Amino acid sequence: MPQESAVHRRIPTFSESVRRRISGAAMPDAGGACEAMDRPNVLWICTDQQRNDTLGCSGNPFVRSPNIDSLSRTGIHFERAYCQSPVCAPSRGSFLTGRYPRTTRLRQNGQSIPADERLVTRILADAGYVCGLVGKLHLSACHPRVLKSTERRIDDGYSVFHWSHHPMPDWPANEYIHWLRERGLEYSVRPFPECDFVKIGPEAPYSHSAWCADKAIDFIEAQSGQGTPWLLSVNLFDPHHPFDPPLEFLERYRDVFDEIPLPNYREGELDDKPVWQRIDHRGAYGGRAMAFTAMNESDHRWVRAAYWAMCDLVDVQVGRILAALERTGQRENTLVIFMSDHGEMLGDHGIYLKGPYFYEPAVNVPLIISWPGRIPEGRRSPALVELVDLAPTLLEACGIEPLPGMQGRSLWPLLCGDAPVDRHREDVYCEFYGANFSYDPPAETTMLRTSRYKVTIAHGQGTGELYDLERDPLERMNLWNEPEYAGVRFDLMMRLLDRMAGTCDPLPPREAPW
Distance between CA atoms of 246 and 184, rounded to whole angstroms?
18
pLDDT reading at 282 higher than 80: no
Residue 442, CA distances (Å) to 155, 260, 461 in order: 32, 35, 10
Q: Using one digit for the tens of pLDDT, what is the confidence trace for 122-149?
A: 999 999 999 999 999 988 888 777 766 7
CA dihedral 480, 482, 484, 490 (to 10 degrees): 30
Torsions phi, psi of 47, nearest 5? Answer: -85, 180
pLDDT grade, residue 294 (50/70/90)? confident
The percent of the chain in helix, strand and coil, each rounded to the nearest 5, is 30, 15, 50
pLDDT reading at 7 higher than 50: no
pLDDT reading at 274 higher than 70: yes
Yes or no: domain 14-502 corresponds to CATH 3.40.720.10: yes
Quote the pLDDT of residue 277. Answer: 84
Quote the pLDDT of residue 328. Answer: 98
Q: Is there a contact between 93 and 101 (Cβ–Cβ < 8 Å)? A: yes
Helix, strand or coil, per DSSP, at residue 332: helix
Q: Using one digit for the tens of pLDDT, what is the confidence trace for 42-60?
A: 999 999 999 999 999 999 9
Distance between CA atoms of 199 and 179, rounded to whole angstroms?
22
Quote the pLDDT of residue 12. Answer: 39
More confident residue, 6 or 102: 102
pLDDT reading at 318 higher than 50: yes
For the chain, domain boundaries: 14-502
Distance between CA atoms of 308 and 249, rounded to whole angstroms?
9
HEC string of 95-164? HHHCCCHHHHCCCCCCCCCCCCCCCHHHHHHHCCCEEEEEECCCCCCCCCCCCCCCCCCCCCCEEEEEEC
Give which of 417, 199, 420 is closest to 305, Cα–Cα: 199
Residue percentage of the chain with pLDDT more than 90? 76
Q: Using one digit for the tens of pLDDT, what is the confidence trace for 441-499?
A: 788 999 999 999 999 999 999 999 999 999 999 999 999 999 999 999 999 999 999 99
pLDDT reading at 198 higher than 70: yes
More confident residue, 270 or 370: 370
pLDDT grade, residue 343 (50/70/90)? very high
Residues 6+ apart with CB under 8 A from 333: 37, 38, 40, 41
pLDDT grade, residue 289 (50/70/90)? low
Q: Is the pTM of this model over 0.85?
A: yes
Helix, strand or coil, per DSSP, at residue 219: helix
Quote the pLDDT of residue 437. Answer: 66
Q: Is there a contact between 189 and 200 (Cβ–Cβ < 8 Å)? A: yes
Give which of 392, 337, 415 is closest to 124, Cα–Cα: 392
Question: How does the average pLDDT of the chain come out, rounded?
Answer: 89
Q: Using one digit for the tens of pLDDT, what is the confidence trace for 75-117?
A: 999 999 999 999 999 999 999 999 999 999 999 888 889 999 9
